[in-house]
A and B are shown apart, each in its own frame.
Chain A
Amino acid sequence: MRYMSLFSAHISLQKPGGPEKSVNFDLAAGETVYVAAPNGCGKSRAARQLCGLDHGERSNIKAAGQAFSVWRGKRLTELDGRMRAAKFGFVPPNPQLLFSMVGRTLRQELELAFGVLGRDVDDNAIDRMTDWFDLAPLLDRDYRQFSGGEQVRAALACVLVKGPEVVVTDQVADQIDPEFRRKVSAIFEDWAREDGGVLVQFATAMRDGFGNQARHCAFLTGQELLTGTSQECWPRLGQDGPILLGGPMRLGALLQQKGLAVFDSMPCEAEVLASALTPSSQYMTPFVTPPSGTGTDWLTARIYEFAYPGGAFHLRDAVLRVPAKTLCAVLGPNGAGKTTLLKCLANLVGPWKGAVSINGRDYDTKLSLPKTARLALYCFQNPDDQLYRSTVAEELVECSRNAGGSSALTSDDLQLAESFGLMAYLEASPFELPLSLRRLLVTASCLIARPPLLLLDEPTAWLDGQQKIALAGALSAFLRKGGCALAVSHDLDWVSTAASQLVFLANGRIVQRVESSVLPASQSLPYPPTCLEVAEHLAGFPRLWREEEFLRRLHHA
């Protein structure tokens, strides 16, 4: 491919009281770049700076000094707003924000993408998006009722439909299932190659860019850590990529050890790198031993039928038995009914037919929501749907206080806040926290209440490796004290190490139920495997933690 610089950017970021750090990007037409980094280093701020947008996601990182993006020789700030909107596409981590609320259906939003740019509607482009993102069943539905994964697909379509030259996405893959993640990855690369565009994907998990020719960057506290083509960075890995729960820093450090990447000088990051290079056994084995169940069922749920008004979706014959002290992961493709199942258990939706028993206490759809909360506490998928107190400290004890518990933080609670990185923000407004910390805050609030049944909806979304480890540790401590937890997730890496029971859903039905501890290793599935592939492959559950293999391949590279 002839290298033609289409887009370049100089980004400057600054932490409060910290030095100004700058990163230069120079991107060619047809190129796809993945930027991976731990949370809090300024990815979201940088993503917005790239697009010439002024405000960042809520975070401590501020734009500093000279920051500019240049497209075809022109600075973005000098471009007419309409031209900029036409040529640049931006997908925020919360895709809901892209929906204008002017229309009601997805089709109207897609048409609006042309209308606001003063263009005629291009039906071919809409058909193309419908085909790419499997939107046919969603086109004429109200987008406010979409599931998390459906919202991501719709948002991507709303951005790509206008045919931008540069697309910047900000960690959008966390809410989509592995199968669709693979598909989106392929769509992005085809789109960039065929349409001559540039895609910059900011993501914590580098695996989204596996098995392709994309360029990768690891981004650390506003300083470029490593960069190179995937062929340079990921020799002969193909789709058998490593698991990145240890975080991209660790991966970057491993690559540096092997002399496979060029690093800038990092005088202030020595400590971080040292921690990233701790013995691999810390990362290889499950970082938390899932507590084994006690035998008797703590949770017995029988939800025979539930349908949303209008009959768009049916949940049928969901029968669950979960022993005490067990984390049961609920897996399945987008739209399978995972969130709906959890919402039924928390009585957030209804009426449903059936009954639930938690440690001998029975309830059904008639139990009021506040009373159900004392038995089954639901942690929302979008943290912004759950936050309403004025300080982080008040948020932390909110569930506990409403359940008649203490309204003061105990030493255990403070330890939990510390492990989640919330201690520095106790008196701050929850609305000021970055997305990953808001995610952890709502989870911490539920953990502190110590409900008999904890319902977690995508608990690892937007978290980086270290935060996932902290979450798994906190959950393990919660389970050791009793109770059980259900977690909806697409993060098979995390699930395979933190959960001891797996339940698979498809089309509103439970299709498979297994104990993760009895599953032997398997190397035969593509990575990352989809939930259904795993479910169909239960003779050999894949060992998702394959760092040993990764190191072996690196050694031979």
Chain B
Amino acid sequence: MSNNKDTANNENPKKEKLSKRMAATVRAMVKCYKLANSLDKWIVPLSWLRCIINSSYAMVATLILSQVLDMLYAHKPFKEILIQIVIAECTILALNTASTVIGKYMNIHKEVATLNYAARTGEKTLSMDYPLLDSPRSQDLRRRIQEDNLMGFGLKSILDMIYWLPRTLGNGVTAIVLLWPLLTGTGIFKQWDFYVYFFLSVISYLLVSMLPSLKLNKIWFKEMEEKSIEKKSIMYYIFESGQMEYKMGKDIRLFGGQEMLEEEIEPGRKWWFKKFERYGRLNGTGWILGSIPEYLLTGGSYFYTAIKCAAGVFGVGGMYRYAKGFTDFIRCISNIVQQLTYFEVAAKRQESTLEFLSIPNEMYKGTLPVEKRVHCDGGDNDYLVEFKNVSFQYPGTGEYALRHFSMKLHIGEKLAMVGMNGSGKTTMIKLLCRLYDPTEGEITLNGIDIRKYDYEEYMRIFGVVFQDFNLFAVSLGQNVAANVEYDASKVEECCKKSGLGLDKPGDVSHLTSETCLYKNYDENGVEISGGEAQKIALARALYKDAPFIVLDEPTAALDPIAEYEIYSKFNEIVGDKTAIYISHRLSSCRFCDDIAVFDKGRLVQRGSHDQLIQNPTGKYYELWNAQAQYYA
């Protein structure tokens, strides 16, 4: 116990440390209460009320028994005893009923709080700046939250804790009430030896029970803090990621990967087995350490009161009552000290969530309205977007995804962007949509830095189909409209434009605007193919009717005929909007007025197909011929 030696040599730091820890614990407690209160304002008052009632219940139950015992001991007539019993039992019935009713309300409010808590993380994710979403910090926090929950330190631990404080205090008060005649020491109870016994037993109990159990607690907490790679074995990847459950299956079977995977998961199993054995030993030891002082205390209390009773200080009822009072009181003190440590840990475990919820948005958001005229129907869509010497690095990487990139986007123009994998096309779109801000340089809309515009309004001018777009498991109509309310005929029109024929509502055989997509929200939902999903995503962009439309590989999953339909109708689909089209299929360049060629984060060529194809040393020529040679 090197720790003891240190503190013995130096009293002051220990005190300081203790007071610091006490302060930390109190702060943690306040935090927990604040959190619970903010999630549901009834939780705290209800838990206190219920504890008061429960304590009174326990008190009455003990008092009545001791009263009856005393009366019997004193040979009182049975009728008097009976009246006593009936009164007490009626009180108990009332308290018990109240406690049960409040208990139900508490259940409801606890669940509301839990739901609200989960919702908050979701809300935060929705409102957070996009770059923060996958930043190392929020990734780390998300992982910590997951770990904390996995270790059983979710909100439930806080709610338990909220309830624990009034309950322990209630038990303490009950015990004091039971002991009251002894404590106030009036009349025959004026016993100095009571105080001696009382303090001796409190101190010895604390010593016998607390020291080992505090040490044990420490081991436990350390055990739980331990981060381990094994916990995240490949099995959990497959269980938790969900997506690869059967898609993976084909490769694993055909290539015989079973043996490899089975071996990969084996260390995880052994690790858990060892942990369980260790937890088991700790738990078992804890049980023994807990039971010894418990029985010594109870035995001691009965022994002390029995002697007093035998000496005629109080009756048998008093003996029962005081023995219980003693035991409860001392237990309550040890409970407080022990639980405070737990409080501290549990509060610490909430920090990951609280920190996540309080990540500040860093992107500058201006207030300038995007000029009015362009919003109105029939507006002239008068936009000029310009990238001025823009460089960009993804957070946490050292490489430039875009380097000294300058480019003008003209009004109403159809622009094709081509380039090799990783040449910066998608990055440029992300910057344009203000998902990220440039590391250097600026992007302007009509001559004004896009950061100065109102964010919401700025977003309104873009309709984008990302390569990795997501649809949601709600109705098709809601998906296309990106809203709970949707205009069914407009949905139908947009779907038609994107090449997805819809059936009339009521026709169950195929897609209608009311059909729910996927099965994770509604069991009657339909699974859609990759091609259908791509068409729906396109319809969503069209429904938004934004002046800018951006399509990132919108035909990758389509067969040549469906692809051709989109190509040939492209002008009809986008109308007089400004359109940006990204594709590895260079045929798409033919219906765009203007082509931008990307290479290694720079814009290397710009012009029409006919112009660019003239330059046999240019990147475009290389790309085009790589593909076109096969179709010549």
Do A and B make up one complex?
no
Which residue numbers of B lie inside 8 Å of A, CB to CB?
none
Chain A residues with CB under 8 Å of chain B are none
